[in-house]
Chain A
Amino acid sequence: MSTLKIAHENKCIGCELCVMGCQRQLARAGLAGSYIRILRDIKEGDKFKVSLDPKVAELKLKKLVEICPRGVFEGQEANEA
């Protein structure tokens, strides 16, 4: 089973490259319907929450792990186990 884990949420800088990468794998651009969402804390502008939809496991996780410049994610695809 493929899994993507938020390993270091505190490192997220809100660049949304993971959101773009997720949407690209679904052949679209935009924010709606992304299996990864980045939620900003407007009270503390340097804090972010990362939200994962379980459907993210359907995607190529290695690409999502690699596109994050901060190493927020850890993941394993079924065929890599």
Chain B
Amino acid sequence: MNMVKVPLQIFRYKPGQAPRYDTFMVEIPDTSHVIDAIDTVWAIHDRSLAFRRACHHSSCGSCAIRINGVEKLPCVTRVTDVWGGHDPLRLEPLRNFPVVSDLVVDVTGLFQRMSAADMSMICEAEAFLPFTVDTFAVAGLDPKLVELPENFSRFSRFEKCIECGICVSACPTMAADEKFLGPAGLAAIHQARKKSNDPVKVEHLLGLADGEHGVWRCHSAFECTEACPQAVDPAGKIMALRRELIARRFSKMMGK
């Protein structure tokens, strides 16, 4: 294992200040991932650097950023794979999300879109916010005996998608149209539709996708599929939804 000195050029923004780029020189093992370099900047150089990370193995999607202008998960991207050895490695927040601070973006819109497809991301314990399992224990209650709210879907996981927002950042239409459901939202609708046998729910899901800012706003750039680190293929799912919607329209026209 060798140590390398890597210059990092990081986008900085704090509310009330103009955005800028700060350059840091970090000395890290050559086997490091980009997230390790960011960690080093925070630990040694600048404690005000804001960034997200959690699992360190492309499972949670928290750390997604742009590395040299391309959306990636820094936890599984080796520094040596993206740094040529000369120019600084440029790190920026995801596009098409409001920037909160430095590399941290406001992902509310992403989760609202997923939630619209009934892809709820919370588990049983979180259903009782602000209470936690510990709170129940302190209060002398057994959380297993507490009933869940009606129609609450238990911990729902969108199988491949890790809700990282990379597809949203890569999408040129998401850049322009805040009302667009987007690749993640539409892929979630497709997934929910595939999993459901309830005709009313299917009708509702397809109805969500059928609007001006649904599947029809996609301009077939396919950047979402290219950028997705989990091979979800959001573009393919958007096209599949379009096919189904058109087939339904023709069936209705034929009176079926």
Chains A and B form a bound pair: no
Binding site for B on A (CB under 8 A): none
* Residues of B in contact with A (beta carbons under 8 Å apart): none
